[in-house]
Amino acid sequence: MIIPSPKPSCIVCKGTISGINYECHHCGARFHLKCAAAVKEIQGGCFACGEPINELPVLPQDARGESEAAQADAGSVDPAAVAFNVVCADNDMKNVSMLKHFFKARFPSTTLQTVYNGIEALELVKRSINTADPVNLVLTTGAMPLMDGWKLCRVLKQRYSGIIVALMDTSAKLNPPGVGFDAAFAKPVDLAALYSFLLRSWGGGT
């Protein structure tokens, strides 16, 4: 019996790799070019081992559609004007670190607070509501101690009108019906998709 070799996949977004791509010279991790470019801009080194990402090949004009279309879909929102007050609830330190770099590079006017369970996230949102800058975006993983991300989302949506809640998780329970997440991202999070979602959300899109 011949077992076919698995198709290579991007270490960031997990999509199948075909055509021009980037391979880390140190650990062999493979990237879509758009994912490698995003990771290079945000944290400078390989998503897996931290090795500096070398100069990337130029993507042919007819192959640029996906990332450019995602940004065009977000309209003409200026990232520098995006000023979310974000709570990130996640006990995955690698993901938290990536998000800190991401917001610093892409949305420098955004405030980001990090906690490690749903109870702490809920308390931060509660304390902010009557201030001049209430929390308006919560990014949460699923499985966490004390209160998981699915319950956190239900409580937030019941109590606070207009708050945006997005899930980041690897679970098969990703965004089940009836919970109410505004978006769901499989880990490792596709940074281009997250960027597009945040621009659309700030601009009033869906």
Residue 9 region by backbone torsions, left for phi larger than 0, else alpha for psi between -120 and 50, else beta: beta
CA 75 to chain centre: 19
Least confident of 16-20, 21-25, 104-108: 16-20
DSSP characters over 128-159: HTTSSS---EEEE-S--SSS-HHHHHHHHHHH
Residue 12 region by backbone torsions, left for phi larger than 0, else alpha for psi between -120 and 50, else beta: alpha
Digit-coded pLDDT (tens) for 164-175: 999 998 865 666
Digit-coded pLDDT (tens) for 122-169: 999 999 998 999 999 999 999 898 999 999 999 999 999 889 999 998
**Over the Cα atoms of the chain, what is R_g?**
18
Spans of all domains in the chain: 9-53, 77-202
Long-range contacts of the stretch 64-67 (C-beta < 8 A, 24+): 66/34, 66/192, 67/34, 67/192
Write the CB contacts of 166 (distance below 8 Å, at least 6 apart in sequence).
Answer: 137, 138, 139, 140, 181, 182, 183, 184, 185, 197
pLDDT band at 6 (very low <50, low <70, confident <90, very high): low
The mean pLDDT of the chain is 80
DSSP-derived pairing of the beta strands 22-23 and 85-89: unpaired
Which superfamily does 77-202 belong to? Response regulator (3.40.50.2300)
The pLDDT assigned to 178 comes to 60
The pLDDT assigned to 71 comes to 46
